Structure 1
Amino acid sequence: MKKSLVAGVIAAACVTVTTVGLGATPASADPNDCPKKYVCVWDNSNYEGRFVFVPGTERPNVGEYMNDRTTALSNRTGSHVCFYQNSNGKGSLLARVGPGDSRPNVGPTANDRISSWKAC
């Protein structure tokens, strides 16, 4: 009986921790949390939601996880970075961000349209 009770308490605690962890909404992040020499993009404004951190200044295809989902970004590299509508730096230039700059909201022209970036 004691083993069943202990196992039940442990199982309940695990379910509670998992539920709380999955149900939590992300807190507002600081764009400086993006590591130095990286470009970081988030799918929600104010650096919230799903994100991708990429070393260097080039990402020919942001991938299915973040394609056409970017709303906030941070450029922690030493170069200007240009963000494009299509993969491989093709299509419309949607944003140009200077070294060390960030944007909590890329604006309506670029919002949910970025597919790639490279130094420019």
Structure 2
Amino acid sequence: MAATTVLAGATQASANPNDCPGGYVCVWGDSNYEGRFLFVPGTSRSNVGDHMNDLTTALWNRTGSRVCFYDHSNYGGSVLAIVSPGESRGNIGPTANDRISSWRAC
């Protein structure tokens, strides 16, 4: 699965939330869509990888499906958040903050 990530040297780049394309799930490392980010086409990511594992604070579901975010890779552990189509969260709150490792349509 293709994904777009940006890391600029030792500093972490930010992406404008409006850069999150339709049909993608986009996650950011800091609140208010700041810090490191990952944009993934479709509704499934079995492992976010080292760049974003357990580092997500903000997200935007730009797909047409409800998406469940999980505590562990391969959709394991607890469901930390359920996000409706088109919904964004500038801060996912203490239950899910810095814990997301995978997601899929649910």
Could you say which TM-score interval applies, normalised by the shorter chain?
0.7 to 0.9
Distance 1:35 1:23, change over 3 A: same
Q: Tell me, in whole angstroms, the C-alpha distance in 2 between the residues paired with 1:92 and 1:74.
A: 20
Q: Which has the higher helix share?
A: 1
User: Contact 1:28–1:46 (CA<8 Å) still a contact in 2?
Assistant: no
User: Contact 2:70–2:103 (CA<8 Å) still a contact in 1?
Assistant: yes
Count, aligned residues: 99
Q: Which runs of 5+ in 1 are unaligned?
A: 1-20
User: Contact 2:15–2:37 (CA<8 Å) still a contact in 1?
Assistant: no
Q: Which runs of 5+ in 2 are unaligned?
A: 1-7
In the other structure, the counterpart of 1:63 is 49
- 1:40 correspondence with 2:26: yes
Shift of the alpha carbon at 1:24? 8.2
- 1:100 correspondence with 2:97: no
In the other structure, the counterpart of 1:3 is none
Q: Tell me, in whole angstroms, the C-alpha distance in 2 between the residues paired with 1:23 and 1:103.
A: 27
Give structure 1 regions of 4+ aligned residues with deviation exceeding 6 angstroms. 21-25
Whichever of the two has the greater Rg, that structure is 1
TM-score by length of 1: 0.76
TM-score by length of 2: 0.85
In the other structure, the counterpart of 1:83 is 69
Q: Residue by residue, what CA displacement relative to the aligned partner does 1:52-109 show, whole Å, maximum 9, x if unpaired?
A: 0000000000001100000000000000000000001110100000001100000000
Aligned-pair Cα RMSD in Å: 2.0
Q: Residue by residue, what CA displacement relative to the aligned partner does 1:28-52 show, whole Å, maximum 9, x if unpaired?
A: 833x321000000000000000000
Secondary structure of residue in 2 paired with 1:88:
helix
Q: Residue by residue, what CA displacement relative to the aligned partner does 1:1-26 show, whole Å, maximum 9, x if unpaired?
A: xxxxxxxxxxxxxxxxxxxx979886
Q: Which has the higher strand share?
A: 2
